[in-house]
Chain A
Amino acid sequence: MQAFLLRSMLVVLLLLVGLIAFMLLYLLRRAALERRNTRWRVHFSSLIQRAIDWEGAEGDRLPVTFRASRSLKRPAARQLLIAELITGKRALSGSAGANLVRLYSQLGLGADSLRKLASPAWHRQAQGVQELALMEQRNQVARIYRLTNAPNEIIRTEAQAAIVQLYGFEGLRFLDVLVRPLSEWQQIHLLRLLSRTPGTPSGKLREWLRSTNPTVRDFARKLTAEHHLEDMLDEEIQQTE
């Protein structure tokens, strides 16, 4: 009995020691990563600052410091820089915002965002779509367009919003082939994005009013109301009757 108790206590003790060692190693690793990220942030801070204030001509390359370019060989550093550029692009407009996009393109960070689209994790794909849209990577529109009909609702809605962000009313062409539902929330979101876009809905609006997808018809009706095209809606109703 005593031997059993002793053995049990030893097992519990070993487990505790193991757990403490694991926690210690985890915390040390986390602290090391945090220190590394802080170091990278310092390198990138001057890089971003220079980009914001840059006044070069079209076609000129933005200045990239040696330390920053050395850090950027690491994928984790590239991701950190993407996150910083995204934050900056969300907050800054005008030439400063445009220069951040230019820096993202110059450093080839689009390839990192693009790789996320091939990830099996839905949140990585959605993140990739957001990054490409915010960084105005119009050359990747075909890849994003494919995701506007994705089975995962979050990826789908991100891709739809991205296309509209990049191309305004023209981007709505995904409605031609959309077979999945366009949620009420997403309809409001798209209308909000379009309200900041110049132009009016294309001639496709009539087709969307006749779509086999009821949620597309619903959205098309909202678009006609938003743009005071009620005549078009009345004509469609008369034709249907």
Chain B
Amino acid sequence: MNILVADDEPMLVRAIEGRLRKEGYTVQSASDGQQVLEQIARQAPDLIITDIMMPYASGLEIIAAVRSLPGKKVPVIILSSMGQEDVVLEAFQLGADDYITKPFSPNELSVRVRRLLTA
């Protein structure tokens, strides 16, 4: 299973990457929205974990781009410090599968990833 992790905070990306690799997933990472869009265009991952506030393209734009792709539906988890109701609702309306607010527990993220990949 291939997971794409996108966040502009390298320390956080490394932490999530480490956790997911330990659980047997293949992990790719991106530090901005543009990189995510390029990686998706090359090869769609099995799941995307993305922040909202990122340079060049936001997490919301990424959801919209992923949902416009033909073929199987790629699950998207939003991992953001923005917990405002309108942002969360917008993410779900655009097609996000899950929304986790920072600070978050890596154990909880693992469970949510597993649930989405086995659904």
Q: Which residues of A contact B (CB under 8 A)?
A: 41, 45, 48-49, 52-53, 84, 87-97
Contacts and interface: CB of A to CB of B under 8 A. Distances in A.
Contact of B108 (A48, A87, A89, A94): A94
B41 interface: no
Contacts of B105: 92-97
A133 to B, nearest CB: 14
Nearest to B107: A94
B-side interface mostly:
helix
Contact of A91 (B19, B22, B102): B102
B73 interface: no
Interface of B: 9-12, 14-15, 18-19, 22, 81, 102-108
Nearest to A85: B11
A212 B27 CA distance: 59
Nearest to A44: B11
A96 B11 CA distance: 14
A91 B103 contact: yes
3 smallest CB-CB distances across A and B, nearest first, come from A94-B105, A93-B103, A49-B18
A53 B18 CA distance: 9
Contact of B107 (A48, A87, A91, A95): A95
B104 A91 contact: yes
A89 B102 CA distance: 10
A85 to B, nearest CB: 9
A228 B19 CA distance: 45
Contacts of B10: 41
A52 B12 contact: no
B117 to A, nearest CB: 20
A198 B14 CA distance: 33
B9 A91 contact: yes
B22 A53 contact: yes
Given A53-B22, A87-B9, A92 B15 contact: yes
9 contacts: A52-B106, A84-B11, A91-B9, A91-B103, A92-B102, A92-B106, A93-B104, A94-B106, A96-B106
Contacts of A45: 11, 14
A96 B81 CA distance: 17
